[in-house]
Amino acid sequence: MRRLPEDIHTGLERLAPLCGERASLDTSRPCAPLPVELAVRVMGDCSEVERMRAFVRGLGEVVGTLAEDFPDNIFWDLDHLAWCMWNAGRPEAIDGFARRVVVLCRSFGNKSELRFRYAHDFLYGYDWARWVSRQPEERAGIGPFDLVFFDYLDARRQKLLDLVANNDDKYGQLHGQEFRNPFTFCREPREEAHLHQVLAQSDLIPVKAWRLDGERRWDLPFTDLRAEAAKRLGLSRDSAR
């Protein structure tokens, strides 16, 4: 493995404990890469030290925020997200990309009014595929980690907050420490892991976040297919009662 500058290597190594067991939906690998391994893959032979430092800084902010705001997150395939951050280009653009991801995580995570438990729908493209399918002629060329889609998620957050404020039937106010689950299936950790492992084995994940190129599809009803798979597995909320 390529040897990184000492300060960059040390900064990346400090991130490792934050990622837990680093489960992956890539059926060909036992776990997601350590941050230092991911950085080496993404940065390649680049010698632009300031760009490298910006990337490591941004990756650290994203990993730290995911760990803090989604502490129960199971799957840690950050390959495509990291690739998009690196390819933002100049150091200031990388910084800006990381800030956008951090703000989104803070806005939907366990310290927000929305209080979702996992970042899986964001990382693996469920939110993105649903958005593209509504206007594919205009959106099919926009990726799950493009700033245009981040703008949509910012607007979506405000709409959800309005629904919560009005105690909407689907997005109502939460009580105590419960997590938000507007889906028809159980999303406790064991069920969440099993369902998404089955979907990955069936090639039914919208964005292959474990690939640097993030191979993606939007032209299947992934939300419905996931709900149907959960029902077959006995994970629907009705069957869980």
- Whole-model pTM? 0.93
Which is nearest to 124 in space by CA: 45, 227, 214, 40? 214
Confidence of residue 44 (pLDDT cuts 50, 70, 90): confident
Res 175: pLDDT: 87
CA distances to 33, 122, 128, 153 from 135, in Å: 34, 19, 12, 16
Decide: 196 and 205 in contact? Cβ < 8 Å.
yes
CA distances to 75, 170, 175 from 68, in Å: 15, 26, 21
Res 219: pLDDT: 96
Average pLDDT, stretch 60-88? 97
Lookup: tokens for 93? 């653009």
Give the number of other Cβ atoms within 10 Å of residue 141's Cβ: 10
Per domain, the residue ranges of the chain are 6-240
Is pLDDT at 240 greater than 70 in this prediction? no
pLDDT in tens, 11-38: 888 899 999 899 999 999 999 999 999 9
pLDDT in tens, 108-145: 999 999 999 999 999 999 999 999 999 999 999 999 99
Average pLDDT, stretch 51-72? 95
Quick one: what percent of the chain has pLDDT higher than 70? Answer: 97
Res 237: pLDDT: 82
